[in-house]
Each structure stands twice: as C-alpha cells, then as structure tokens.
C-alpha cells in the first residue's frame, strides 16, 4: 500500500531573483557595507548572509540590532542604501544571468508550464530588464506587489494568482530560508538552491541551476515528497 499523498500536478514555477536567477547579493552587500561604514555601524559579509531574501527595511533593522533612530533618519538611510544599489546594478547585463537559469526558464515554457518571478526586491523589474529575462516570464511579483514581505506567504500567493494556478500546483525555487518558509506557509511546493544548512527545509535541494533540466526538478520533488 502506498503511503504517498495525492499531489496536484505541477503547473508552474516561481523563481526568486537574487541568488537564483542572478547574484545581486554582492551589490546589496556593498551598498549595505558602504552605508554601515558611513554610519559607524558594525557590518561584514557574515552579517550580510542573514539579509538574503530579507526586505530592505527588515535588513536595516537587522543591521541596527535594536539601535533606535528617528524615523526620518531611517528613511534617509534606506534611500541612501538604495541609491548605492541602483548605481551598482547599472552594470548588470544578460551575461549576469546565473548558469542554467535562462535555459531552464525557456525549457519550462516550451513544456507548456508557466514561469513567474517572486522576488522581495522593489528593484526586480529593472534587474530583469537588464538581464533580458522578462520575455521568459509569464508574471512578475516583486517587493512592490504586496505589503508583507517574506517569510509571509503573500508574495508567492500573489504570483500564483497571476499565473492563475492554485498554490499547490506551483513550485517556488528559492535560495533563502525566509523564502522557503514563505512558500511553505502558502502551501506551495519548494526547491531550495544552495547549502542544506540554509535551504534544507525545502522539499528538494540543489546546489545551483547549472545543468538542471525540468525533468530533474520534477524528479527531485517526486523523490523527496
């Protein structure tokens, strides 16, 4: 007797941006480091790891570690960090798509399944355009789409609605613990990209999308489900 639960067939994939389709983490890191240095706040690469997939405001709160500033100062710091980030992403080109990602998006669509972006970034649209990935996506959900950031499920539920699919028919591909948590809270399927220490809660884990085909994603889900 099989104990396996009946699963809804996969209808689409929702991809995170930073850490999955491209590596904007380095640009975020440099922008935060510059702000932290100017403000005399302790910050380094290890601290930056905790900001993966975390919204801009929540990231600043983590950096401030309970230090209290007037609201205007907080808003000014957020704007300054973003201006440093925007300056940096002007250098992004289609060559900055992570290995395997473009091919995988194209393969998923050729197979008749849907693709969406599910990124916490409010700058995701600009990054997508610079990468030349927009034509490979059926829908874009980003930091401007919903109020509550990851780990709330809202962003991925919004993306599933845009794809006109039930959450259980969508697979979220994520590199951040907050993103896996968000997807699971919304009842979406999950594939983690990166080390198991970070994304081990996902149904399946892959080191990257390099050389990964649709069949491998579906197989990985089946064997961990």
Point out the catalytic residue in the list 18, 138, 142, 175.
18
Q: How is the chain split among helix, strand and coil, in percent rounded to 5?
A: 50, 10, 40
Rounded Cα–Cα distance for residues 141 and 158 (Å): 7
- Write down the least CB distance from residue 38 to Mg ion, Å: 26
- Write down the least CB distance from residue 73 to ligand B16, Å: 18
- Write down the least CB distance from residue 162 to ligand B16, Å: 16
Catalytic-residue membership of 16: yes
Binding site for ligand B16 (CB under 6 A): 16-19, 28, 51-56, 59, 82, 119-123, 143, 176
123 binds, among ligand B16, Mg ion, none (CB under 5 to 8 A by kind): ligand B16
> In 3-state terms, what secondary structure has residue 55?
coil
Rounded Cα–Cα distance for residues 88 and 96 (Å): 13
Binding site for Mg ion (CB under 5 A): 16, 18-19, 53, 175-176
- Write down the least CB distance from residue 11 to ligand B16, Å: 22
> In 3-state terms, what secondary structure has residue 178?
helix
Catalytic-residue membership of 18: yes
Q: Give whichever of 138 and 175 is closer to ligand B16, judged by the CB atom.
A: 175
Q: Give whichever of 103 and 126 is closer to ligand B16, judged by the CB atom.
A: 126
Q: Give whichever of 19 and 149 is closer to Mg ion, judged by the CB atom.
A: 19
203 binds, among Mg ion, ligand B16, none (CB under 5 to 8 A by kind): none
Contact between residue 40 and residue 150 where contact means Cβ atoms under 8 Å apart: no
59 binds, among Mg ion, ligand B16, none (CB under 5 to 8 A by kind): ligand B16
Chain centroid, CA 111 distance in Å: 23
Q: Give whichever of 30 and 41 is closer to Mg ion, judged by the CB atom.
A: 30
- What does the chain come to in residues? 225
Taking Cα atoms as reference points, which of 205, 211, 128 lies closest to residue 174? Answer: 205
Query: Using CA of residue 44, residue 50, residue 52, residue 54, what is the dihedral sign?
Result: negative
Rounded Cα–Cα distance for residues 41 and 45 (Å): 13
122 binds, among ligand B16, Mg ion, none (CB under 5 to 8 A by kind): ligand B16
According to DSSP, residue 119 is labeled: -
Give me the active site residues, please: 16, 18
């Amino acid at each position: 007797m099989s104990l396996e639960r009946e699963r809804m067939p996969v209808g689409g994939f929702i991809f995170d941006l930073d850490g999955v389709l491209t590596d904007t983490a380095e640009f975020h890191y440099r922008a935060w480091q510059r702000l932290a240095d100017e403000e005399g706040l302790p910050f380094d690469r290890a601290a930056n790891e905790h900001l993966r997939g975390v919204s801009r405001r929540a990231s600043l709160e983590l950096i401030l570690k309970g230090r209290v500033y007037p609201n205007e100062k907080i808003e000014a710091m957020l704007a300054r960090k973003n201006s440093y980030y925007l300056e940096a992403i002007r250098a992004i080109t289609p060559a900055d798509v992570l290995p395997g990602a473009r091919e995988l998006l194209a393969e998923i669509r050729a197979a008749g399944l849907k693709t969406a972006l599910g990124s916490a970034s409010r700058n995701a649209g600009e990054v997508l355009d610079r990468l030349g990935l927009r034509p490979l996506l059926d829908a874009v959900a980003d930091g401007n789409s919903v109020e509550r950031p990851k780990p709330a499920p809202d962003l991925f539920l919004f993306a599933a609605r845009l794809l006109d699919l039930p959450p259980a028919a969508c697979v979220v591909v994520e590199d951040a613990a907050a993103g896996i948590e968000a997807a699971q809270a919304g009842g979406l399927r999950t594939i983690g990209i990166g080390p198991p220490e970070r994304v081990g809660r996902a149904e399946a884990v892959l080191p990257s999308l390099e050389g990964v085909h649709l069949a491998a994603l579906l197989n990985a889900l089946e064997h961990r489900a």
